[in-house]
Structure 1
């Protein structure tokens, strides 16, 4: 359908916010997660609870929320040697990228999402990549994703539209967007039901959510929360 969407939903803060963004705009929204043997696989385990809470607390969105899909990409782990696919220390590498960078991950995710959308008859792809407040991953860059959209549309002979609503938002603005879309209820659902910590730690609930509090993902989420809590003004970034 030309106005139906598929959200790449990992179970983290960014993709959860993107799911709310899509439900606010499209009449039918499906979700897709990927199991690639990630170290923080707990993110996959929280996806269902977040979807259920979102539907329970917002009946209008519940009517729009379609089925969830999960694809296994074991090959990605096989070709990767990173801190997200191995029990190794998170460090900065000689190339300037953190060891959490999984080469090709987002390229594969979007391509498989488009393949599923092709079969499901969905036109809009929504993903949480961002180059404003991130770890420097080259496959999160706007230029990368625009080029990928062109390649996918040529290769599949479709006119998919790839939306990245967080591309120019930092984490403070991402919390603000959630507040604008769903108020305090959505902010709280994201805070307690989603998972961003690279180490998969859900033993401690901080003000900003569960996590180890020391990995790069936790640090980004914490800084964004604290900046937003100190100045919870409206999200002024245009969609």
Structure 2
């Protein structure tokens, strides 16, 4: 009896959780190098830095313009309304609050259940669109201790999603063990200086949504936790390039 050949990365389809930030842009480029068809999904959850919802469209347009070899693989973009997450959360990402550590040791930028919800809804969308790979920028190396970014959490959810959907659903996290400097390096390896330049000019990471001054590492306020991490990563990457 003949066996069905399992799908390979050359024939499989992927859905990238794409915010328009540095990490998700690197993940999108990573997926475009590997999968036959790649779609993107973003989430509007009432985030203070809602400018990312605008910038993600700019990044997608720039990717199509600067990387014609990826154009045919880059499919539809989706945005899901998750306003309920902002309504039930009280965090520095959804409210006008100072950034600080909480009593449990986590920063108040932690939105409880955010990645769990993102992955569940992305899996539902992927199921409907005959996609069996999710790609996310979760990272356990340069992170703020968010429990839903841990490798164990992602692996557990992959199993749960497959059981709940009744079919395989692979979650890929190409940045899981990379620090920010290595993420900049990955962008260069995937798309050369052009992808690094695109990341600097057009991606958005700043928690305050600042798009004013263009620093060597990109736009941002320069002092929020996201800007600080991105800046230090770029400085480490630049030092290795010398």
> What is the TM-score with the length of structure 2 in the denominator?
0.95
Following superposition, the deviation at residue 232 of structure 1 comes to 2.8
Following superposition, the deviation at residue 78 of structure 1 comes to 1.0
> Unaligned 5+ residue runs, structure 2?
1-6
- The residue aligned with 1:196 is 205
- The residue aligned with 2:189 is 180
> Unaligned 5+ residue runs, structure 1?
234-239
- The residue aligned with 2:87 is 78
Aligned-pair RMSD on alpha carbons? 1.0
- The residue aligned with 2:26 is 17
- The residue aligned with 1:32 is 41
- Distance in 2 (CA, whole Å) between partners of 1:232 and 1:117 is 38
- Distance in 1 (CA, whole Å) between partners of 2:36 and 2:196 is 22
- The residue aligned with 1:64 is 73
Look up the SS of the partner of 2:190 in the other structure: helix
Look up the SS of the partner of 1:231 in the other structure: helix
Look up the SS of the partner of 1:135 in the other structure: coil
State yes or no: 1:55 paired with 2:53: no
- Whether contact under 8 Å (1:8, 1:113) holds in the other structure is yes
Look up the SS of the partner of 2:93 in the other structure: coil
- The residue aligned with 1:7 is 16
- Distance in 2 (CA, whole Å) between partners of 1:143 and 1:40 is 28
- Distance in 2 (CA, whole Å) between partners of 1:232 and 1:63 is 32
Q: Which has the larger radius of gyration?
A: 2
> What is the TM-score with the length of structure 1 in the denominator?
0.96
- The residue aligned with 1:220 is 229
- Give aligned pairs, total: 233
1:101-134: CA deviations, max 9, x gaps?
0000000000000000000000110000001011
- The residue aligned with 1:236 is none
Following superposition, the deviation at residue 4 of structure 1 comes to 0.4
**Deviant stretches of 4+, over 2 Å:** none
1:134-179: CA deviations, max 9, x gaps?
1110000000010011111101111011000000000000000000
Following superposition, the deviation at residue 57 of structure 1 comes to 1.0
